Amino acid sequence: MVGQVEMFSRTLWSAITPAHSPVPPLHGALRADVTVVGGGLLGLSIALGLARRGASVILLEGQNIAFGASGRNTGFVVPGLKGSLSVDAVRALVGPEKGDALLTLIGQGGNYVFDLIKTLGIECSAEQRGCLQPVPMSGDMAQIEKMVKWNQAAGIESEILDERQITQVSGIKGYRGALLLPTGGQINPLAYALGLNDAIVRHGGRVYLGHARRLKRYGRTWCVEVSGGASVQSDQVIVATNALTGDLLPKVARSIIPVWAYQVATQRMDAGVRERILPGHQTFVDLRLHPFAVRWSPDGRLITGGAAKIHDPGAVDRMAKAFLRRLARFIPDLPPLQAEYAWNGRIAVTNDFMPRLWNVDTGLYAPIGCNGRGVALTSVFGRAISDYLVSRDEKDLPLPITQPKPYPLHGVVRHAPSAWLAQAQLRDWIGG
């Protein structure tokens, strides 16, 4: 994992988030009802849901809380799936009943995240100002019109802005219109994750540092062996490591496609720019194949980013320059841009951009594949999984439980995003 440790410390979020009490290392042999492996937003959300329901839960994190994509993303709270997933596509992939359940759950994700932040008293620069999903001039408004119609029937807030309105609201030109999700917004994702960690402990859950190196099953009991000789035994294990699963569950690791994402934060902008561009502090994620996304940081910087075709040791600096050029192209008249913070991280992508809940073995689950919609999706998906683990009622789940399906040539397939991204950029360029 080239540059993972270095990049975690180089993020804007690491720079502006107050120091957190260290998580204690795991020692000895412990027991719990459920072991959650992975201290990202999904694992934290599952563990919190279990702790709030009185279950005995231990969460293990091998590096730092939110070490992976959870602590490196842009902090967008988007109450929706990837823009390419229409209502019809979701219902076709998992069936009408589960499709509607998933769309409803994620549509409630914005309010859930911000209500949870308020309830738990988490200081994470939370701004529930809405999420804008603009449609390029060459795009089709029909999909968002259908989404709004579906949302209205489901009681989920959303509306359509026309070309004049999106320019007026965002200060950014060149769009036919936009889907506005009023319950969305933005947070400091690292501070949010640390707040969830604290809440787990307050509700009786246990969180430890410990690298899970092996899973062994003894009858109905699982043993998670941790580097250094410590271990946790439980009847159920949730491996919520997403793109960082590695050798712990090779079958799962070979069933997803890891994608490197890059972020860059500019220098602080003056009041004139802040009043002209996204003055209402909405998040902005357009519906291109390779989306243009931008937001304001809590300290007055523009943050943008995206995927890269080639990941190598020089990619962070190279992509920072590329994304600043893209930012200047989409928002003219900005001052000369400087990359004061630049970093990367890996996200887990599935072939259809849908999340999964995989049953790897009896009592062993792997929820995975947030596909760049991490904050809202992981929060509500984690709560639903915790409800299921207590109730054992699959009606609590917005997705069917399935089996991982490793790619036969994963070593080749894992490079597919580079080819796809090149094609997406070309199609975006042709379409304007």
Q: What is the average pLDDT across 127-133? A: 97
Joined together, the tokens standing for residue 419 give 């080819």
HSE-up of residue 306 (Cα within 13 Å, Cβ side): 27
Q: What is the rounded distance in angstroms from the CA atom of residue 95 to the CA atom of residue 332?
A: 44
Instruction: State the CATH number of the domain containing residue 226.
Output: 3.50.50.60
In a domain, 40, yes or no: yes
* Residue 3 pLDDT: 41
In a domain, 430, yes or no: no
Confidence of residue 430 (pLDDT cuts 50, 70, 90): very low
Give the chain's length: 432
Q: Is residue 297 included in any domain, yes or no?
A: yes
* Total Cβ atoms within 10 A of residue 393: 9
Q: Which of 74-78, 240-244, 369-373 has the lowest mean pLDDT?
A: 369-373
Mean pLDDT computed over 124-135: 97
The pLDDT, as a whole number, for residue 2 is 39
The beta strands (E) that lie in 47-182 are given as: 57-61, 76-77, 131-136, 159-162, 175-181
Average pLDDT over residues 96-109: 95
Say which amino acid occupies 139.
Answer: G
CA distances from 354 to 139, 245, 358 (A): 22, 18, 12
pLDDT of residue 243: 87
Could you give the 3-state DSSP secondary structure of residue 133? strand
Q: Is residue 389 part of a domain?
A: yes
Is the pLDDT at 420 greater than 50? The verdict is no
On whether residue 84 sits in a domain, the answer given is: yes
Cα gap 112→78, rounded to integer Å: 11
For residue 5, the model assigns a pLDDT of 43
**pLDDT tens-digit profile of 379-389?**
999 999 999 99
Per-residue pLDDT tens digits for 349-380? 888 889 999 999 999 999 986 777 779 999 99
**What is the band of 201 on the pLDDT scale with cuts at 50, 70, 90?**
very high
Instruction: Determine the distance from the C-alpha atom of residue 72 to the mean position of all C-alpha atoms in its chain, rounded to a whole number.
Output: 9
Instruction: Say how many domains are in the chain.
Output: 1
In angstroms, rounded to a whole number, what is the distance separating the alpha carbons of residues 216 and 230? 13
Mean pLDDT, residues 166-191 taken together: 97
H or E element that contains 385? helix 374-391
Q: How far apart are CA 428 and CA 415, in angstroms?
A: 21
pLDDT of residue 414: 59
Tell me what the mean pLDDT of segment 88-109 comes to. 94
Average pLDDT of every residue of the chain:
91
Q: What is the pLDDT of residue 81?
A: 87
- Quote the distance between the C-alpha of residue 188 and its chain's center: 13
CA distances from 397 to 169, 380, 393 (A): 37, 10, 8
Q: Is the pLDDT of residue 260 over 70?
A: yes
Q: Is residue 425 part of a domain?
A: no
Instruction: Give me the mean pLDDT over the 257-261 stretch.
Output: 87
**By mean pLDDT, which of 203-212, 250-259, 325-334, 419-428 is the weakest?**
419-428
Predicted local confidence at residue 257, as pLDDT: 86
How many whole angstroms separate alpha carbon 176 and alpha carbon 162? 6
pLDDT tens-digit map of 22-46: 999 999 999 999 999 999 999 999 9
Minimal CA–CA distance to 58: which of 212, 195, 192? 212
Under the banding of pLDDT at 50, 70 and 90, the label for residue 223 is very high
Residue 428 covered by a domain: no
Res 418: pLDDT = 53
**59 has a pLDDT exceeding 60:** yes
* 179, two tokens: 């889907």
Domain that holds residue 194: 4-413
In a domain, 427, yes or no: no
Poorest-confidence range of 8-22, 147-161, 337-351, 365-379? 365-379
Average pLDDT, integer, range 42-57: 97
